[in-house]
Amino acid sequence: MNILIPVLGDQLSHNLSALSRQNKADCILLMVEVDEETVYVPHHKAKIAYILSAMRHHAEDLRAAGWTVDYIQLTDPANSGSFTGELARALERHSITQVRVTEASEWRVKAMLDSWVDRFDVPITILPDDRFLCSHGEFESWVEGRKQLRMEYFYRDMRRKSGLLMAGTDPEGGQWNYDSENRKPAQRDLHMPRPISFTPDSMTRDVIAMVEARFAGNMGRTDNFSFAVTRADALRQQQYFLDHALPSFGDYQDAMLTDEPFLWHSILSPYINSGLLDPLELCRAVEAQYHAGKVPINAAEGFIRQVIGWREYVRGIYWHAGPDYVRNNALDAHRPLPEFYWTGETKMHCMSQAIEQTRDHAYAHHIQRLMVTGNFALLAGIDPIQVHEWYLAVYADAYEWVELPNSLGMSQFADGGLLASKPYAASGAYINRMSDYCGRCRYDVKQRMGPDACPFNALYWDFIARNEDRLRKNPRMAMPYKNWERMQPDDKVALRAQAKQFLETLG
């Protein structure tokens, strides 16, 4: 045996590039649970439990497939606490002539892997991660010569490249994008699908006990832990989604309902991002459901757009924008993140719903992240780094490459429009249209002024006024600025005073 292959916590795929075409008898796979990964943000307890349990189960699967796996647990007394320290120890334990590793998914870990090349006296090969449709080079070629980077055009190229939902050179159904058919509000439905609840086995229970002991102060619950932690179970959730939720996914993609955290969403992102599920295989299965006449085009296209469109696009933006992307603060927002983001203790029903389900399930769907918690932070002028660190901590699917462009770019417009053509800023009317939250709220979504007024309303106009110099020239913001201009000066002053008064209560 002479090849050492580190397998990171988001590389839990049997077809990982570092493993490809290797003779199993020549290789030792190294998997390590390390402090530095568990503390770079205060991860949700269920997120840590999910990743570590999925790692332990994957190590078993790899062994069953004939690989030798050297696995170091977090509580191992000799554990150095870092990927680099564990590589050094493994090189001492084994007689190794080369190291192969699939590239890291984020800048922080990339810098670490790059440093190994000079640091260790053994050849180190870093391979591209080919679990994505678009390579780094391909994305850079797409960027070249473009004034604006817009997801829609990138997505069309990915459709052509993958052949997904294509009828020759034309899009299936005649349209590239059925987004306008993805915006129905939902009605409560007794037959609504629920994600499968996987009962923790003894390995997962051990991890949960360790997490509860070691990360007691972190946000979240584990007593209701029900994630799949193996590829086999993740495939069961995939099949459940295809059969039960996908048919209505398109219609209700943007909808929100009280005490219904999952609706018709797939709840597959933790499995896709850690490697248990293959995104392209999933998209082909979605396409097959469409061709079999089991799901409408707006569902199949809507889903495939999220995966080969948005997911690939945000990864491209992350690497294109560089390691300093995180420092962007185009709207000059500096307010600290309110404490209720961690507790859910707020009278705004939409916010408490989104945050409480985040605490309970390490999950919120896209519109809750973008138009409730994200929108509130944007309107209130919360420091984008604090917003980013919150999203990175609290969701089971959160890794910086996918979370940062979504939070800092799409939701906070802190990159000044590199990713999104306009800020996703909205008053209470949007939340009222897409949910049943407002009917159950202490505030009145129709009021703009006074103690019962929905805070989103005055905050929205305050955001518009505060950012006039930065946003007025954006053609997609013409309408809000026209409406702001039409308002009576006294109303403008009163709205801004109402917003100021509310913001002061945030502490």
Q: Which residues bind ligand SF4 (CB under 6 A)?
A: 348-350, 428, 431-432, 437-438, 441, 443, 445, 454-456
Partner interacting with residue 398 (select from ligand SF4, ligand DLZ, ligand FAD, none; CB below 5-8 Å by kind): ligand FAD
Taking the least distance from each CB to ligand SF4, the nearer of 113 and 364 is: 364
Tokens, residue 34: 């390390």
| CA 172 from centroid of its chain's CA atoms | 28
CA dist., res. 492 & res. 486, Å (int): 10
Taking the least distance from each CB to ligand DLZ, the nearer of 109 and 408 is: 109
Tell me the β-bridge partners of 98: 3
Of positions 250, 374, 428, 480, contacts ligand FAD by CB under 6 A: 374
Q: Does 277 contact ligand FAD by CB under 6 A?
A: no
Q: Does 230 contact ligand FAD by CB under 6 A?
A: no
Q: What is the dihedral of CA 23, 24, 26, 30, to 10 degrees?
A: 130
Q: Which of residues 385-404 bind ligand DLZ (CB under 6 A)?
A: 399
Helix (H) or strand (E) holding 291: helix 279-291
- On the 0-12 / 13-18 / 19+ scale of CB atoms within 10 A, 156 is middle
Q: Find where tokens 């678009």 sit.
A: 134
Tokens, residue 217: 């102060």
Taking the least distance from each CB to ligand FAD, the nearer of 3 and 308 is: 308
DSSP string for residues in 386-431: HHHHHHHHH-TT--HHHHHIIIIIIIT-TTTTSS-SS-----HHHH
DSSP, collapsed to helix, strand or coil, labels residue 289 as: helix
Taking the least distance from each CB to ligand SF4, the nearer of 156 and 183 is: 183
Q: Does 51 contact ligand DLZ by CB under 6 A?
A: yes
Q: Does 219 contact ligand FAD by CB under 6 A?
A: no
Options 28-36, 134-142, 191-199, 427-435: segment touching ligand DLZ (CB under 6 A): 28-36
Of positions 132, 252, 391, 456, contacts ligand FAD by CB under 6 A: 391
Partner interacting with residue 257 (select from ligand DLZ, ligand FAD, ligand SF4, none; CB below 5-8 Å by kind): none
Options 105-113, 219-227, 254-262, 361-369: segment touching ligand DLZ (CB under 6 A): 105-113
Q: What is the dihedral of CA 77, 79, 81, 83, to 10 degrees?
A: -170
- To ligand SF4, the closest distance from the beta carbon of 459 in angstroms equals 10
Options 40-48, 99-107, 111-119, 268-276: segment touching ligand FAD (CB under 6 A): 268-276
Q: Which of residues 407-466 bind ligand FAD (CB under 6 A)?
A: 407, 410-411
CA dist., res. 215 & res. 210, Å (int): 8
CA angle (182, 362, 270) in 5-degree steps: 70
DSSP string for residues in 108-174: HHHHHHHHHHHHSSS-EEEE--TTSSS-HHHHHHHHTT-SS--HHHHHHHHHHHH-TTEETTEEGGG
Q: Does 132 contact ligand FAD by CB under 6 A?
A: no
By CB under 6 A, how many residues form the interface with ligand FAD?
28
Taking the least distance from each CB to ligand FAD, the nearer of 395 and 430 is: 395
- To ligand SF4, the closest distance from the beta carbon of 437 in angstroms equals 4
Residue 240: name the closest of 289, 306, 274 by CA: 289
Q: Does 109 contact ligand DLZ by CB under 6 A?
A: yes
Of positions 3, 16, 28, 34, contacts ligand DLZ by CB under 6 A: 34
How far separated are the first and last CA of the chain, in Å rounded? 59
Q: Work out the number of other CB atoms within 10 angstroms of the CB of residue 171.
A: 19
Options 46-54, 266-274, 353-361, 488-496: segment touching ligand FAD (CB under 6 A): 266-274
Whole-angstrom Cα Rg for the chain: 24
DSSP string for residues in 160-221: HHH-TTEETTEEGGG-S--GGGS-PPPPP-TT------PPP-HHHHHHHHHHHHHSTTSS--
| CA 333 from centroid of its chain's CA atoms | 22
Q: Half-sphere exposure (CA, 13 Å, Cβ side) for 333?
A: 30
Q: Does 57 contact ligand DLZ by CB under 6 A?
A: no
Of positions 4, 9, 257, 372, contacts ligand DLZ by CB under 6 A: 9
Partner interacting with residue 454 (select from ligand SF4, ligand DLZ, ligand FAD, none; CB below 5-8 Å by kind): ligand SF4
Partner interacting with residue 109 (select from ligand DLZ, ligand FAD, ligand SF4, none; CB below 5-8 Å by kind): ligand DLZ
Partner interacting with residue 437 (select from ligand SF4, ligand DLZ, ligand FAD, none; CB below 5-8 Å by kind): ligand SF4
Q: Which of residues 341-370 bind ligand FAD (CB under 6 A)?
A: 365-366, 369-370
Contact 113, 103 (CB under 8 A): yes
Partner interacting with residue 9 (select from ligand SF4, ligand DLZ, ligand FAD, none; CB below 5-8 Å by kind): ligand DLZ
Enumerate binding residues for ligand DLZ (CB under 6 A): 8-10, 32-34, 37-38, 43, 48, 51, 104-106, 109, 399
User: Where does this chain bind ligand FAD (CB under 6 A)?
Assistant: 265-269, 272-273, 303, 306-307, 310-311, 314, 365-366, 369-370, 374, 391, 395, 397-398, 402-403, 406-407, 410-411
